[in-house]
Amino acid sequence: MLYVGAAIGRAFGLVYEGFDVRTYAILGAAASLNGVVRVLISLPAIMMETTTISTFVSPLMIVCLVSRYIGNGVFRSEGIYDEILKIRKIPFLEEEPPKVTKRLVLRAKDVMSMELVQLQLTMQVQAIFEILQE
């Protein structure tokens, strides 16, 4: 994704000769990667640290905001990591609770198990797996 975005950004930079072509390549790489993974804060920070140019913070944030908006709004899909979690049925705590539970008034004692399960320092993997399945 980085190569594709960098190539598109570089091509855009060659057409519009306003800034350095490398700037467009970096912004294009960030946009394409963020369009796939949809991480708003960490990706600009990673790209800024990778390029060691602190003046890219604002353009990187704008590019990531736009690519996330297009990915979420236009394509109506989530990031690739969220999709992988759904496909593999890995439990994940969402940002918002399900709509069904918004009107319920629940406390921790209403949903917790009264039975305390403890793991020993040395246990067989199969035993831990069985405990987690319960």
Per-residue pLDDT of the chain (134 residues; tens, 9 = 90+): 778 888 888 888 888 877 788 888 888 999 999 888 888 888 888 888 888 877 878 888 999 899 888 888 887 778 888 889 989 999 887 777 777 777 778 788 887 877 888 888 999 999 999 888 87
Tokens found for residue 86: 């759904």
Q: Quote the CA–CA distance of 84 and 133 in Å, as a whole number.
A: 21
Q: Quote the CA–CA distance of 33 and 29 in Å, as a whole number.
A: 6
Tokens found for residue 89: 């049925």
What is the structure's pLDDT at 88? 94
What is the structure's pLDDT at 42? 86
Burial of 105 (0-12, 13-18, 19+ CB in 10 A): exposed
What is the structure's pLDDT at 127? 92
Terminal Cα-to-Cα distance of the chain (whole angstroms): 40
3-state secondary structure 46-88: HHHHHHCCHHHHHHHHHHHHHHHHHHHHHCCCCCHHHHHHHHC
**Beta-carbon contacts of residue 134 (< 8 Å; ≥ 6 apart):** 117
- The residue ranges of every structural domain in the chain are 2-81
Contact 83, 66 (CB under 8 A): no
Q: What are phi and psi of 118, to 5 degrees?
A: -120, 145
What is the structure's pLDDT at 40? 82
What is the structure's pLDDT at 125? 93
Radius of gyration for the chain, computed over Cα atoms and rounded to the nearest angstrom: 22
